[in-house]
Amino acid sequence: MQPVKIGLLGFGTVGGGTVRVLARNAQEIARRAGRELRITTVFTRDPSKPRLYSVEGMRLVTDPWQVVEDPEVEVVAELIGGISPAKELILRAIELGKPVVTANKALIALHGNEIFARASQRGVMVAFEAAVAGGIPIIKVLREGLAGNRIEWVAGIINGTCNFILSAMREQGREFAEVLKEAQALGYAEADPSLDVEGIDAAHKLTILAAIAFGIPLKFASVYTEGITRITPEDIRYAEELGYRIKSLGIARRSGEGIELRVHPCLIPARRLLANVEGVMNAVVVKGDAVGPTLYYGPGAGAEPTASAVGADLVDVVRAMTADPENRVPHLAFQPDALSDLRVLPMGEVETAYYLHLRVADQPGVLADIARFLADHDISIEAVIQKEPKPSQQDVPLIFLTHKVRESALDAAAKKIESLPTVKAPVHRIRLETLE
């Protein structure tokens, strides 16, 4: 059989990793796909850049359209990232009937509905395993491995940079800004690190996971997103004293009235496996009604882990080239005409427990006043501790853990608490999930 000819858009970290992995594992991959996979055309802005691996037999071009339009190229792998021209290039590949493999999380989260609709019309596959959690095959798990389940919730550490920062803050007691600089120097963060630390990158990935888990369209604009920039080493220490770790989680959950889609820092019990995922590693817990909770762990980024996912997608699309479109696994797991547009709950309607960090005057009656406002809003306290004041400060930190409460009730109570003259700073709150 003739080799399948692949065009690569992008020869950076992931593109280079893909070239290396496909060359090193050529035989294994051919045994799986049933045909040899050969990269024939590669778009790179810098063709003369020295590479540590062979590019023999590959045509290096400096115009990405030359890859897509190359009549020899049968499959296009888009690894340049960004929205434009990646979107136009993918749509053109679809128009030409060429299957596409992409690692582009932002593009799928924002424009996936349109891309998949076009691909389905044209009977072309668009595969995107590398877009979420790097080397962890979580798309395959949700779309195929757990297809017999009703998925109840998904919760994941899906941004390695945030996890690296929170781990270093906990282990070394360092401040957020200092560790962020280190993460940038190590090359973990996105070119614009606010995408990581403000939760946007994780929201892209959560959008994709939720669509596949629940059979809903991609709804990036409905994801609630909160970053980790206001987490302090004190919060991490106090949480630890109470038996919790702080992690930035992406959570998608069915609730009675709709679904929750949210990315934010979160206290989770220290005994949970997810709480012990450290550094840049990623992990996703999926709770299915039949299987119960399942955990998937691995590297969420990096040249070869991401190439591992690209390689798996290439094998899939090559296998599917001979299958009728209606017999392929649907892009978003559920048949396109069976997607349901479930309501995404506004955060006011979401129920979680809370960690509250207050700075208050050290005088009689303060705790009673705060407890009364909480009680007025039906908020039950699970734990309270008063900490030593910092040497330079008069006021004392007061830490509460609450039971589950509607966010709108917590908002109302916090507003009243903040109006007390004895409360010296806005109520600093972090949601708490037991993941049970």
Supply angle C-alpha 314, 316, 321, rounded to 5: 95
Is the CB of 301 or the CB of 396 nearer to ligand HSE? 301
Closest approach of Cβ 13 to ligand HSE, in Å? 10
Is the CB of 73 or the CB of 303 nearer to ligand HSE? 303
Site of tokens 């220490």: 237
Catalytic residue among 98, 105, 140, 205: 205
Q: Is 181 a catalytic residue?
A: no
For residue 22, how many C-alpha atoms fall within 13 Å in the half-sphere facing its CB? 32
Give the interface with ligand HSE as residue ranges (CB under 6 A).
134, 159-161, 188-190, 196, 201, 300-301
Closest approach of Cβ 95 to ligand HSE, in Å? 28
Closest approach of Cβ 14 to ligand HSE, in Å? 10
Closest approach of Cβ 195 to ligand HSE, in Å? 7
Is the CB of 135 or the CB of 397 nearer to ligand HSE? 135
Closest approach of Cβ 188 to ligand HSE, in Å? 5
Is the CB of 36 or the CB of 190 nearer to ligand HSE? 190
Is the CB of 29 or the CB of 132 nearer to ligand HSE? 132
Is the CB of 208 or the CB of 353 nearer to ligand HSE? 208
Closest approach of Cβ 282 to ligand HSE, in Å? 7
Catalytic residues: 205
